[in-house]
């Protein structure tokens, strides 16, 4: 059963701490997989598909025929939903696209910045017990809008050696270039190092289990990554005018993800908190993933009683949740006070599930309190910036002594002479 706390009743670390580090044995296992794939390439990938996915593969790449079969297998009504969701996502992220700039205000000086798409991007899409076409759309569409020339997906195959049809349908709709039947840490290794079939990439994005997260951590530096994602989180900030059944349903929308998921209610009213607790007990047994939701609620679920809504907002900012629902009558009045959250859902008619699938804003979000300093996945994650500078001879001569003075202040004589050498004989 979910626990009810008053602020200050328990130490902060019991409410606010969320550790996402990997144990030592997992780190060693992942390191061995990375080394195996780096050395043995496709042969290692085929062996891991047999070992972990029980799939006998002769090739890891999805063929055009498999794409065609997948599109034919997906219910037409769901294809329409995928296309509409893709348009919403595309429309939202299109506003994030930006170009470079050039400054010419100083005589003889040109400075500026170029915005350049990352050339090769790899997207990891979880598989196994569930398929996530939403991840395909959310992570692929911003990359395509950024102009990335090469975008590939890795995702685990089923025992039949096939990728979920809805994953392939979403990949086609999003404009993904190639899809590979590779899951787990071995997929991250293939993307980071490349194999005979899988191209190495410059950046890896997408969620995954603890092995995937640890693999991303270990290859960071060789390639860029989006983030080290922890378990799913939701914080619902609700007043007593809300429907307890609705609030409980929203909490469970994240609790069913993972036993380690975190569902938190912050409210100012104890009787309301107790009604939500009772609703959770009523609704959990009705869920297909009841065992997972039960473990999440019992282990990590919390109801925190704040003295007023201002205090509730302060608690939310301290926790810095992945998803924050402001279930109050005038949510826009409180939005300016929210500083730390991955994605905010405003009002009583905006469940977090809207953001997972359909509304348009990205669902790849910072977890574990990292919303204090990081952001949702966006077009910015798929570009890099390069700056440039041009000076005429007259413009450089006008400032060379200042550059030299600055360099000598830092004890770097060669820097100083480099600036002066164009105008003075000798070095």
Same fold, 3-20+231-360 and 24-225: yes
Is 166's pLDDT higher than 80? yes
Is 178's pLDDT higher than 80? yes
Give yes or no for a contact between 268 and 239, defined as CB atoms under 8 angstroms apart: yes
304 torsion bin: left (phi>0), alpha (psi -120 to 50), beta (else): beta
pLDDT tens-digit profile of 42-65?
999 999 999 999 999 999 999 999
Is 398's pLDDT higher than 80? yes
Mean pLDDT of 189-208: 97
Mean pLDDT of 180-202: 98
Burial (Cβ within 10 Å: 0-12, 13-18, ≥19) of residue 388: exposed
Please state, rounded to an integer, the average pLDDT across all residues of the chain. 94
The Cα–Cα gap between 375 and 366 comes to 6
Radius of gyration of the chain (CA): 26
pLDDT tens-digit profile of 243-280?
999 999 999 999 999 899 999 999 999 999 999 999 99
Q: What angle do CA 324, 259, 344 make, to 5 degrees?
A: 10
Percent of the chain with pLDDT over 90: 92
Q: What is the per-residue pLDDT for 154?
A: 98
Q: What is the per-residue pLDDT for 65?
A: 96
Structural element, H or E, at residue 319? helix 309-319
Among residues 343, 137, 308, which one has the least CA distance to residue 233? 343
List alpha helices for 157-308, DSSP H.
165-174, 184-193, 210-219, 244-255, 270-283, 290-300
* DSSP per position, 18-31: ---PPPHHHHHHHH
What are the two backbone dihedrals, phi and then psi, of residue 19, each rounded to the nearest 5 degrees? -85, 135
- From 256, 257, 279, 323, the catalytic residue: 323
Strands 109-117 and 101-103: what pairing?
antiparallel
Q: What is the per-residue pLDDT for 294?
A: 98
Q: What is the per-residue pLDDT for 130?
A: 73
Structural element, H or E, at residue 47? helix 42-52
The Cα–Cα gap between 285 and 392 comes to 74
Q: What is the per-residue pLDDT for 229?
A: 85
Domains of the chain, by residue range, sit at 3-20+231-360, 24-225, 392-427
Rounded to 10 degrees, the C-alpha dihedral 51/56/172/149 comes to: 70
Is 19's pLDDT higher than 60? no
Confidence class for position 222, pLDDT limits 50, 70, 90? very high
Confidence class for position 234, pLDDT limits 50, 70, 90? very high
Confidence class for position 24, pLDDT limits 50, 70, 90? confident
What are the two backbone dihedrals, phi and then psi, of residue 257, each rounded to the nearest 5 degrees? -65, -45
- From 322, 325, 352, 363, the catalytic residue: 322
Q: What angle do CA 359, 363, 365 make, to 5 degrees?
A: 145
Q: What is the per-residue pLDDT for 7?
A: 77
Q: What is the per-residue pLDDT for 168?
A: 97
Mean pLDDT of 332-360: 97
Is 170's pLDDT higher than 50? yes
Active-site annotation holds for 323: yes
What are the two backbone dihedrals, phi and then psi, of residue 138, each rounded to the nearest 5 degrees? -65, -35
pLDDT tens-digit profile of 295-324?
999 999 999 999 999 999 999 999 999 999
How many CA atoms lie less than 13 Å away from 192 in the CB half-sphere? 26
Active-site annotation holds for 322: yes
Sign of CA dihedral 131, 132, 137, 139: negative
- The helix/strand/coil state of 322 is coil
Our measurement of the distance from residue 215's CA atom to the centroid of its chain's CA atoms, rounded to an integer in Å, reads 15
Rounded to 10 degrees, the C-alpha dihedral 34/38/43/47 comes to: 0
Which residue reads 């995928």 in tokens?
82
CATH homologous superfamily of 24-225: Nitrogenase molybdenum iron protein domain (3.40.50.1980)
Which residues lie across from 178 on neighbouring strands? 152
Confidence class for position 427, pLDDT limits 50, 70, 90? very low
The Cα–Cα gap between 167 and 177 comes to 13
pLDDT tens-digit profile of 100-145?
999 999 999 999 999 999 999 999 999 866 789 999 999 999 999 9
Taking the domain 3-20+231-360, which CATH number applies?
3.40.50.1980
Rounded to 10 degrees, the C-alpha dihedral 76/77/78/80 comes to: 90
Q: Which tokens in the block code for residue 195? A: 């194999």
The pTM assigned to this predicted structure is 0.92
The Cα–Cα gap between 327 and 348 comes to 5
């Amino acid at each position: 059963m979910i626990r009810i706390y008053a602020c200050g009743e328990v130490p902060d670390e019991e409410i606010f701490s969320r550790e996402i580090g990997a144990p030592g044995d997992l780190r060693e296992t992942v390191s061995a997989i990375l080394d195996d794939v780096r050395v043995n390439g496709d042969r290692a990938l085929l062996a891991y598909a047999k070992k972990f996915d029980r799939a006998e593969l002769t090739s890891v790449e999805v063929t055009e025929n498999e794409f065609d079969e997948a599109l034919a297998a997906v219910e037409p009504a769901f294809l329409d939903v995928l296309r509409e969701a893709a348009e919403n996502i595309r429309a939202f992220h299109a506003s994030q696209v930006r170009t470079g700039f050039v400054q010419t205000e100083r005589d003889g000086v040109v400075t500026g910045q170029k915005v350049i798409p990352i050339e090769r991007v790899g997207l990891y899409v979880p598989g196994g017990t569930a398929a996530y076409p939403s991840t395909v759309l959310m992570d692929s569409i911003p990359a395509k809008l950024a102009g990335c020339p090469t975008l590939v997906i890795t995702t685990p195959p089923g025992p039949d050696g096939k990728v979920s049809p809805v994953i392939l349908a979403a990949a086609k709709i999003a404009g993904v270039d190639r899809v590979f039947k590779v899951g787990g840490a071995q997929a991250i290794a293939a993307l980071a190092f490349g194999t005979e079939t899988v191209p190495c990439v410059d950046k890896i994005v997408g969620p995954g289990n603890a092995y995937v997260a640890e693999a991303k951590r270990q290859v960071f530096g060789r390639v860029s990554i989006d983030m080290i994602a922890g378990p799913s989180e939701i914080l619902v900030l609700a007043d007593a005018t809300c429907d307890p059944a609705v609030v409980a349903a929203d909490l469970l929308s994240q609790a069913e993800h993972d036993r380690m998921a975190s569902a938190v209610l912050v409210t100012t009213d104890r009787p309301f908190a107790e009604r939500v607790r009772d609703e959770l007990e009523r609704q959990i047994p009705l869920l297909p993933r009841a065992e997972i939701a039960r473990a999440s609620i019992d282990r990590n679920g919390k109801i925190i009683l704040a003295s007023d809504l201002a205090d509730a907002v302060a608690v939310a900012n301290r926790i810095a949740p992945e998803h924050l629902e402001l279930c109050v009558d005038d949510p826009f009045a409180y939005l300016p006070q929210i500083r730390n959250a991955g994605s905010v859902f405003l009002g009583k008619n905006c469940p977090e599930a809207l953001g997972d699938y359909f509304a348009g804003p990205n669902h790849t979000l910072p977890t574990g309190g990292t919303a204090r300093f990081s952001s949702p996945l966006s077009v910015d994650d798929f570009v890099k910036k390069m700056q440039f500078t041009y000076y005429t001879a007259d413009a450089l001569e006008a400032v060379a002594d200042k550059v030299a003075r600055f360099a000598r202040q830092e004890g770097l004589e060669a820097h100083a002479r480099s600036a002066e050498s164009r105008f003075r004989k000798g070095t």
